[in-house]
Homo-oligomer: A and B are copies of this chain.
Amino acid sequence: MAVNLYIPPESNIFTVAGIEIGTAEAGIRKANRRDLTVFRLSEGSSVAGVFTQNRFRAAPVQVCEAHLATDQGVRALVINTGNANAGTGDSGLHASRETCKALASLLNITPAQVLPFSTGVILEPLPLDRLVAGLPAAVDSLDDNNWFAAAHSIMTTDTQPKIVSQRVALGNKTITITGISKGAGMIRPNMATMLGYLATDAGIAPALLKEMAPDIANRSFNRITVDGDTSTNDSFIVMATGKSGVQIDSKSDPLYAQLYAALADAATELAQKIVRDAEGATKFMTIQVEQAKTTEEALKVAYAVAQSPLVKTAFFASDPNLGRILCAIGYAGITDLDVSGIKLWLGDVLVASKGERHPDYQEADGQRVMKEAEIVVRIELGRGDVSDTVYTCDFSHEYVSINADYRS
C-alpha cells in the first residue's frame, strides 16, 4: 500500500567499501524473521549520530551517546527489532551494554566502539539472552553485499524495505553513498520510531561529520510527520569510511558543498520513503510554507496542516475540503497572523486568498488535484521571505487497524 515507494533492483545497490553487514534470526519477539542486524566498519571510519529528543530516551540511545562521547572510534552497530528496550530503566541500560560487550568480544573491539539500536514494543524487557545468542550467526554472515538484507531486517510495521544507493563524481574521483531506513508510524519532527543509516566511502573528518549530521537530519528526517508522535528510540547515523580516497576535512574544501548536498539528498530520499510507506498511507503530501517571517513559524504552519487529523482524513477521501487546511493554518499558533494576506494553493490551483475561497476556484479543479497520489499544498503567508517544507501522508482506516492491532 506504500505510495510510489521506489525499491531499486538489488543490482543497483552499491556496496560501500569499509562496511560489512550481517543479519540473523534471534527470535526477539517472533520466530522465523531476521530481527538482528550487525554493521562492521573498517578502522578509521568517522561516525556521527542524531538522536530522539523525547525525554524518555530508550536505553540504546543513552548507550549510543555515551559510547560516541568516548571518541574511541565506532567499529560496529547492532540493531534489533521486536523490542525497543525503552521504558526499561537500569535493567534496560544493562541489557544494552551487555549487547555491546558481547558483540565487541566477537569482533575483537572494545564495547565503547559498538553502537546499539532497538526498535519495537516499549516498556517490555529486552530478551538479552536471545539477542546475544543470535550475534554469532549475524557476525558469520558479515558481507559488504548485505545492504538489501539489512533494509529488510530492520523493518517493523514497514511494508517495504527502504534503501537508496548512488555514485557521485567528486572532483576526479567517484564516491558511493548507500543508506537504509525504517519507520512507518510514530513519525514526526525530531524523528520517531525512525532508524536511518547512511554510509559513504568518502572520508570526512570526525569533527566535521559531527557538525554535518544534525544539519542533514534537519533537511530530511526532521521534516517528516506521520502522526505527530516522536518515539523514544529515533536514531540517525552517518558513517564515512574514507575508502574511496576522497577526504574532506573542513567546510572550506571546494568539494564540501557537493558532498553535503549528496548526503542530504540521500537522507531526504530515505526520510520520504518512510512517509511513502507510512501506516495506512494512500497519499504523499508535500506541505510547502512560503513567505514566513522565520523558519519556526513556517514549520508551525506546516506541521499544523500536516498533523491535522481532519486534513489527513480529507486527503484520504480525495475531498477538496480545503477549509480544513485554512482552519489548521489559523490555529498553528501565529498569534498576529493576518489571514487576509494568505494564499493557499493545491497543486497548481489557487484555492483561497484574502481569507476566503478564491473567486476563480472551481471544486472540479480541487478534485482533480486531490485524486493524485502525490499532492503539493503550498501556503504563502505574506509575512516574510522564509520557506520550509514538511512531508506527510493521509490518515486512513488502515492506520487505525495497524495501530489498534500492533501488539495482538
Give A residues with C-beta under 8 Å from B: 53-57, 84, 86-92, 121-124, 185-186, 190, 227-232, 307-310, 313-314, 316-317, 319, 321-324, 326-332, 334-335, 337, 339, 352, 354-357, 395-397, 399-401, 403-408
Contacts and interface: CB of A to CB of B under 8 A. Distances in A.
A370 to B, nearest CB: 12
Contacts of A339: 55-56
A121 B321 CA distance: 8
28 contacts: A53-B331, A55-B337, A57-B330, A86-B323, A86-B326, A87-B323, A87-B352, A122-B323, A123-B321, A123-B326, A123-B356, A123-B357, A124-B323, A124-B357, A186-B310, A228-B307, A228-B308, A230-B331, A231-B327, A313-B404, A317-B404, A317-B405, A317-B408, A321-B406, A395-B400, A396-B404, A397-B401, A399-B400
A356 B55 contact: no
A255 B98 CA distance: 66
Given A56-B339, A228-B307, A317-B403, 8 more contacts: A89-B355, A122-B324, A229-B331, A230-B327, A230-B331, A232-B326, A232-B327, A321-B407
A407 to B, nearest CB: 5
Contacts of A316: 400, 404
A229 B331 CA distance: 8
A319 B407 contact: yes
A359 to B, nearest CB: 10
Copies of this chain assembled into the complex: 2
A246 B288 CA distance: 57
A408 B319 contact: yes
A129 to B, nearest CB: 19
A399 to B, nearest CB: 7
Kindly name the residue among A124, A185, A229, A397 whose own CB sees the greatest number of chain B CB atoms within 10 A: A229
Given A331-B53, A356-B89, A310 B404 contact: no
Nearest to A190: B331
Contacts of A123: 321-323, 326, 352, 356-357
Nearest to A355: B89
Contacts of A403: 309-310, 313-314, 317
A89 B307 CA distance: 26
A350 B395 CA distance: 33
A236 B71 CA distance: 59
A232 B337 CA distance: 14
A330 B89 contact: no
Q: Sorted from nearest, which 9 A-B pairs have the closest CB atoms?
A: A122-B323, A89-B356, A56-B330, A123-B323, A317-B404, A313-B403, A54-B330, A230-B331, A55-B330
Contacts of A86: 323, 326-327
Contact of A334 (B55, B122, B352): B55
Contacts of A337: 55
Given A56-B339, A339-B55, A356 B229 contact: no
Contacts of A406: 319, 321
A229 B55 contact: no
A87 B355 contact: yes
A397 to B, nearest CB: 5
A85 B334 CA distance: 22
Contacts of A399: 309, 313, 400
A75 to B, nearest CB: 30
